[in-house]
A and B are shown apart, each in its own frame.
Chain A
């Protein structure tokens, strides 16, 4: 075997994560098998019909920009990258009569620990993102777009570039798309290892060829984005939801989820489950159902805790999760956030101090260093949790953790500071005795931790 053949043996086929029959009413992952990512396959699944219909092909009347945005508003689609901001509303913020260049950006800088959905969308259904972006560009009168893909998934980046070539050759991208007056040039860009670039203004800085340090907001990207021009940024999965909405109508999308939480959502389930992977299910499905789809808690274990929306979301006890549904409002009500839909499951063999120690190390490593509370605070948090884990905690450390977390939150340019503090507060709120045990006994409460 040559070197490439050696490496190819270990490349995932996506079978375990996304090609299984354990999705419920899938829209984005429907009928995928890993091989049918090409343009002709996508067209056979009804792909690019939404774009054709808004452009008014074959003498039929198309949709106006306002009609497209109204349809997205009606659907209840909320941003899939973490914040859950209503997509239609975001699109309506773009100045449509602006005389200069405007930009559309897809945020595929998927690096929130627990998340691996955008990778599978881009790798196995890239045209759904291209079509969604083209529709968005049409609705906002944008002629240039970039898909910023994080640097750890070069194979996926190459796949997306190949899909772009197919779309250009077929006339779905470029000048006078499908013979209309609509022009849209779309390119792929990549990062090279920086979690912070998932923050939209850091991503813009990175796209401009700079360090990924977030900008002050306001001004928001809609008025001052890429190269200082009006810019709209959405997550990969958000764009991927758009073609279905245009084809089936906003009300149908909303009906698939629950009020204020339209559509399906892809949850990346990781950690202590039998079948880690991506599960596309209607918003508002119960957590118990999702856990069952993922094969339940790994053999021998009992559900202890769940981080429901990526590592930045506060942890919730398993019992609370078993009573909740998977949507923005229900998870917020339970005291955490849906975030990017990364569900990290921990069983009863896990020590929460050790888990937090690893997360705190991550935020310390990824803080961009721009704001003092985050740059210093993340290191401070890690040092305290690290000494607790190593049996050197002091009685005053609990209050100190609380105070450092409190003093980071709300005092930084971007949300990374809050993201480092929220897991700490969640852990202390629900698992305080474990931390106190580490201080008092210098050992772990959970003996079986491996």
Chain B
């Protein structure tokens, strides 16, 4: 199959900016090993679209010249991929043992109360999705959480959790 042709089709799914970011990842690997960039490309898709949809899996498959099922295997294997739409802010709180010893579970509970949302669910206004998470390699910073995969927040006491949620709500309000 003609790779350039496939990229043209896939290009209809992704903006020029996103394609430029894909290409930057692709440049790291040998020309016949494009599949190596699949995690990075899917992470970029998630960052720009909020989650990885079947359509975007197809687009990434075309872009990288790999079977759609091979892309789906990756998106279903790695924990951080959202296969369904999530709230504007996905909050993952580490609850593994080192964090549990320093209030990780308590932080998750505090957020659940404050947001009036069950763990694993999204608030009614679509603003926050709250999830427990496994070790993030930041054990001495506990309680620790991740906002939208890319922003780690450390030493999250109850006061700071309130500041974070109120701050995000206000920032969204001001920007709209």
Give residues in A with beta carbon < 8 Å to B: 1-3, 5-7, 9-12, 16-17, 101, 110-116, 118-119, 146, 150-155, 187-195, 206-212, 227, 268-272, 276-278, 307, 311, 342, 344, 346, 350, 355, 358-359, 362, 365-366, 368
Contacts and interface: CB of A to CB of B under 8 A. Distances in A.
Interface in B87-109: 95-98, 100-102
B14 interface: no
A115 B142 CA distance: 12
5 A-B pairs with the lowest CB-CB distances in the bound complex, closest first: A193-B79, A209-B35, A10-B153, A193-B80, A6-B167
B73 A211 contact: yes
11 contacts: A7-B153, A11-B152, A114-B97, A153-B136, A153-B152, A189-B36, A208-B35, A208-B36, A211-B74, A268-B139, A276-B142
Given A153-B137, A208-B36, 14 more contacts: A1-B167, A6-B171, A9-B167, A116-B140, A116-B141, A152-B152, A153-B138, A189-B36, A209-B74, A311-B96, A311-B135, A344-B139, A358-B97, A366-B134
A277 B140 contact: yes
A355 B97 contact: yes
Given A115-B137, A209-B74, A151 B98 contact: no
Contacts, number: 200
B4 interface: no
B43 interface: yes
Given A114-B98, A154-B150, A359-B97, A276 B140 contact: yes
Interface of B: 28, 30, 33-40, 42-43, 64, 66, 70, 73-74, 77-81, 95-98, 100-102, 134-142, 146-147, 149-156, 160, 163-164, 167-168, 170-172, 174-175
Nearest to B135: A113
Contacts of A307: 97
Contact of A3 (B146, B155, B160, B175): B175
A3 B171 contact: yes
A365 B147 contact: no
Contacts of A187: 28
B150 A209 contact: no
Contacts of B80: 151-152, 192-193
B135 to A, nearest CB: 4
Contacts of A9: 163-164, 167
A298 B160 CA distance: 21
B175 A2 contact: yes
A102 B174 CA distance: 53
B141 A344 contact: no
Nearest to B136: A152
A192 B39 contact: yes
B174 to A, nearest CB: 8
